[in-house]
Amino acid sequence: MLIIGGAASGKLNYVRSLGYCEEQLADAVLDSRPVIYNLQDLVAASVSSAPALLKPLLEKEVVICDEVGSGVIPGVREEREAREATGRLCNQLAQQADSVIRLVAGIPLPLKGHAKIIDVAARRGAGG
């Protein structure tokens, strides 16, 4: 599952609502945890290595990335290159992912596949 959205759009909260706990969330590092977030930071750390990230990212259950295709184009060349590499990598991930979810104001919008919606009231019990 690829999850994209703006900064502070609710991406991590959505993933937590799916049952993932903090110990399962990797912040911009590839390791054995099932969820990686801040993909844009991982790519920015080594733009030239971005194409090699595809295969290990496809093994993750969830990949979370800030939306990089909107907004002001960075004036610094390195930042533009990182943004472009992140966008290309997200395109490849989206093509191969079972589902792609965009978060807007905390609301999951399925772009491909289905969003998993958690009934918060049911989790808390009736009358929640």
pLDDT at residue 70 in the model: 80
Residue 66 domain-assigned (yes or no): yes
pLDDT, tens digit, for every residue of 102-113? 999 999 999 999
Alpha carbon distance 64, 50 (integer Å): 15
| Residue 92: CATH number of its domain | 3.40.50.300
Residue 24 domain-assigned (yes or no): yes
pLDDT band at 89 (very low <50, low <70, confident <90, very high): very high
Neighbours of 81 (CB within 10 A): 16
pLDDT at residue 10 in the model: 96
Domain count, the chain: 1
Residue 119 domain-assigned (yes or no): no
**Which of 101, 90, 118, 117 lies closest to 3, judged by CA?**
101
pLDDT, tens digit, for every residue of 28-75? 999 999 999 999 999 999 999 999 999 999 999 999 999 998 878 889
Strands 35-37 and 62-66: parallel
